[in-house]
Structure 1
Amino acid sequence: MRNRMKICFAGLALLLYISGIQGQIRDTLYLWPNKVPNEISSKQRPVQYPDTSRAVIRITEITNPSLTVFKPKKEISNGISIIIAPGGGYRYLAINIEGYEVAEWLNMLGFTAFVLEYRTPDNKLGALNDMQRAIRLVRNKSKSLGLNPNKIGTMGFSAGGHLAMLSSSNFKKSSYEHSDDIDKISSRPDFSILMYPAYLDQGENNSLSDPIDLNEDMPPLFIFGTLDDPLSNGFLVLAKALKKKNIPFEMHLLPQGGHGYGMRKGNPAAEEWPNYLKKWLVKIFN
Structure 2
Amino acid sequence: MIRFVIVLALVLSTTQCIAEVTQLSPERISLWNGNAPNGDGTFEKDDAWLTLHRPEKPNGIAVVICPGGGYGGLVTGPEGHGIAKWLNQHGITGLVLEYRLPKGRPYVPLLDAQRAIQTARANGKQWKINPEKIGIMGFSAGGHLASTAVTHFDHGRQESKNPIERQTSRPDFAILVYPVITMDQSTHGGSRRNLLGENPTDELINLFSNEKQVTKQSSPTFLAHALDDTVVTSSNSQAFYKALQSHDVPTEFLELPSGGHGLNGYQGPMWDAWQMQSLQWLTTLME
| TM-score (structure 1 length as normaliser) | 0.75
Contact 2:155/2:168 (<8 A) preserved: no
Shift of 1:201: 3.0
Q: Which letter maps to 1:224?
A: A
Secondary structure at the aligned position of 1:89 is classed as coil
What number of residue pairs does the alignment pair up? Answer: 235
Contact 2:68/2:139 (<8 A) preserved: yes
Q: 1:164 aligns with which of 115, 133, 146?
A: 146
Determine the C-alpha separation between the residues in 1 that align with 2:245 and 2:32.
Answer: 37
Residue 69 (structure 1) aligns with: 52
Q: CA 1:78–1:181 in structure 2 vs 1: closer, same or farther (change >3 Å)?
A: closer
Shift of 1:210: 2.8
Contact 1:90/1:124 (<8 A) preserved: no
Q: 1:84 aligns with which of 65, 73, 78?
A: 65
Residue 255 (structure 2) aligns with: 253
Contact 1:154/1:192 (<8 A) preserved: yes
Contact 2:155/2:170 (<8 A) preserved: no
Cα shift readout 1:169-195 (whole Å, capped 9, x = no counterpart) = 111388xxx894422210011111111
- Please say if 1:32 is aligned against 2:36: no
Residue 147 (structure 1) aligns with: 129
Secondary structure at the aligned position of 1:132 is classed as helix
Q: Which letter maps to 2:250?
A: P
The two structures, once aligned, show a CA RMSD in angstroms of: 2.4
Q: 2:82 aligns with which of 92, 95, 101?
A: 101
Q: CA 1:97–1:263 in structure 2 vs 1: closer, same or farther (change >3 Å)?
A: same
Shift of 1:143: 0.9
Secondary structure at the aligned position of 1:182 is classed as coil
Cα shift readout 1:219-244 (whole Å, capped 9, x = no counterpart) = 21000011111221111121222222
Shift of 1:284: 0.7
Secondary structure at the aligned position of 1:93 is classed as coil
Determine the C-alpha separation between the residues in 2 that align with 1:67 and 1:257.
Answer: 29
1:228-267 to structure 2, matched below 5 A, reads 228-230=228-230, 231-261=233-263, 264-266=266-268
Residue 42 (structure 1) aligns with: 45
Residue 284 (structure 2) aligns with: 283
Contact 1:263/1:271 (<8 A) preserved: no
Shift of 1:163: 0.7
1:201-240 to structure 2, matched below 5 A, reads 201-203=182-184, 210-211=207-208, 212=210, 213-230=213-230, 231-240=233-242
Contact 1:92/1:121 (<8 A) preserved: no
Contact 2:34/2:45 (<8 A) preserved: no
Residue 55 (structure 1) aligns with: none
Determine the C-alpha separation between the residues in 2 that align with 1:173 and 1:72.
Answer: 28
Query: Greater RCO between the two (CA within 8 Å, min separation 6)?
Result: 2
Shift of 1:265: 2.5
5+ residue gaps in structure 2?
A: 1-23, 188-204
Residue 269 (structure 1) aligns with: 270
Residue 167 (structure 2) aligns with: 185
Higher share in helix: 1
Q: Which letter maps to 1:68?
A: T
Q: CA 1:224–1:232 in structure 2 vs 1: closer, same or farther (change >3 Å)?
A: same
